[in-house]
Amino acid sequence: MAIVGPADSVSLAYAVALERSDILSPQGIVYQDAAQVPEIMRARCPEFDMWLFSGIVPYHYALSVATHKPLFYLPHTGSSLYRALFEITYIKNLKLHRISFDTFSQVEVEETFKDINLPLPTIYVKPFSDVASAKEFANHHYELWQAGKIDIAITCFLATYEKLKELGVPAFRVWTTRSNIRTTLDVAINSCLAQRFKGSQLAIQQIAIDEYDNIVRASSSYNVKRMEMCLYKILVDYAEMLKGSLVSRGDGQYTLYSTRGILEDSTHELTVIPILEEISCQVKGAVSGGIGFGVTAYDAEQNAFHALGIAQQKGKGLWMAVNDEREVIGPLSSAVYLKYSVQADAAACKQMADQLNLSVTTVNRLLAVIDKLDKDTIGAEELAVYLSITSRSARRILTILVENGLAEFAGEEMLAKGRPRKLYKINLQLLLEHLHHED
């Protein structure tokens, strides 16, 4: 575990982390400014299984770095205020009349005084925001003090505390409590172990040539063998990529065994299948696949067959996945869309997802679907099938794209029964430009 923050916070968290030395190997990394966090992480990310930050500000900087490593921060909860208030009243013998706070919300400060049965003084609160900095917080406290509105400033940041002391402002620093550190460490350890367990789960892929019996009847046995040999060569390379094992079950059917962690990395969290483009170009026939995860080999195998069945019901050449919670994911796209999944920065994709009020996975899969369909118009029902969501949810996504100028209503399609189906034209180029602009 990397413990990142200013020297005093790192020292305290490191001392508490040593209590868990049976399972945890902590290492402190001290910075002078929280803005150094992205640089630190990019240089040292491979060294650690997880990262713990001294507060929400360095944690916020860490979110801008693309990583699958678990990230945590030490919360400055209401209980952390008790220590500062105790120091003010019982050690320094100061009165709690007019105080400014940062990071905490108004409600947290009010509840803290209520919990310890103290009258609420005049308070000024500047909550944390994404763009806040230690310098900005220092200016906030100093301006209030200069205007004669406060007698005491309470801050969660070492840099803010030191600046206020330099300016002559009576300042006190909030430290996270040892109890909070222990609780956060428990959460971090359990989360890391769960991720490690999940990553080591068995992943089984059931792969089949679609309509194999019809192909055998319509073609010579030599052509069928050539098709199978061509597919087998692709699958052998795929198995090597996944460090897995490939078994041919005959009649155009194959089983590939690997682990969940490697598979999810290779498929960009189940958004693309890297061999689909190669299969479509080289194999003279559609090939479907089903991915199954499970705690036991039996569960993983059953989920894989279930995923393959769903893929073949939906059409030809589709790949689906069923996880250990029986959730269906897919269809998965081809790796041809690396222009968004690799070249686009993960943080930029997250910004785009936040702006559209969608998950990053949904944005990735939406782009993959558009690429796979090879057309720019789509209806909500069709999108729902490809994203494995309800038609209502698909309509919501399309409405969001329209509202953001990334899609437009393209008319209606008359159906044999029922009301006409609305079609939407998605501007893929604009969508990609929007993504890279965020970057």
Rounded to 10 degrees, the C-alpha dihedral 352/357/363/369 comes to -130
Comparing 355 with 56, which gets the higher pLDDT? Answer: 56
The architecture CATH gives domain 2-75+179-196: 3-Layer(aba) Sandwich (3.40)
Residue 425 φ then ψ, to 5°:
-100, 120
Picking from 74-78, 91-95, 158-162, 251-255, which range would have the lowest pLDDT averaged per residue? 74-78
Same fold, 2-75+179-196 and 78-175: yes
CA atoms 17, 23, 29, 33: torsion sign: negative
The predicted-structure confidence for 322-339, as pLDDT tens digits, reads as follows: 988 888 888 887 543 333
CATH class of 200-336: alpha beta
Q: Are 152 and 142 in contact (CB under 8 A)?
A: no
pLDDT range class, residue 431, cuts 50, 70, 90 = low
What number is the average pLDDT over the span 172-178?
A: 87
Distances (CA, A) of 242 to 238, 258, 283: 6, 6, 21
Look at residue 388 and tell me whether its pLDDT is greater than 60: no
The CA distance from 188 to 1, in Å, is 9
What number is the average pLDDT over the span 265-274?
A: 83
Look at residue 392 and tell me whether its pLDDT is greater than 90: no
What number is the average pLDDT over the span 80-99?
A: 87
The predicted-structure confidence for 278-301, as pLDDT tens digits, reads as follows: 898 899 889 999 999 987 888 889
Look at residue 176 and tell me whether its pLDDT is greater than 90: no
Look at residue 345 and tell me whether its pLDDT is greater than 60: no
pLDDT range class, residue 103, cuts 50, 70, 90 = confident
Q: What are the residues facing 101 on neighbouring strands?
A: 125, 154
Comparing 253 with 387, which gets the higher pLDDT? Answer: 253
pLDDT for the residue numbered 343: 36
CATH class of 344-438: mainly alpha
Domain spans of the chain, in order of start: 2-75+179-196, 78-175, 200-336, 344-438
Q: Are 305 and 296 in contact (CB under 8 A)?
A: no
pLDDT for the residue numbered 34: 85
CATH class of 78-175: alpha beta
What is the chain's length?
439
Return the amino acid letter for 146.
Answer: Q
Look at residue 97 and tell me whether its pLDDT is greater than 70: yes
Picking from 130-139, 157-166, 262-271, 317-326, which range would have the lowest pLDDT averaged per residue? 130-139
pLDDT for the residue numbered 129: 67
Look at residue 199 and tell me whether its pLDDT is greater than 90: no
What is the DSSP code (8-state) at residue 311?
A: H
pLDDT for the residue numbered 439: 47
Q: Are 129 and 140 in contact (CB under 8 A)?
A: no
Three-state DSSP state, 236? helix
The CA distance from 332 to 271, in Å, is 5
Share of the chain above pLDDT 90, in %: 34
Look at residue 197 and tell me whether its pLDDT is greater than 80: no
Q: Are 274 and 368 in contact (CB under 8 A)?
A: no
**How big is the CA angle at 187 (ends 183 and 188), to the nearest 5 degrees?**
115
Look at residue 232 and tell me whether its pLDDT is greater than 90: yes
Of residues 2, 123, 11, the one with CA closest to residue 69 = 2
Picking from 2-6, 76-80, 401-405, which range would have the lowest pLDDT averaged per residue? 76-80
Q: What is the mean pLDDT of the chain?
A: 83
Share of the chain above pLDDT 70, in %: 86
How many other CB atoms sit within 10 Å of the CB of residue 291? Answer: 31
Three-state DSSP state, 64? coil
pLDDT for the residue numbered 338: 32
pLDDT for the residue numbered 253: 93
Q: What is the pTM of this model?
A: 0.51
pLDDT for the residue numbered 337: 34
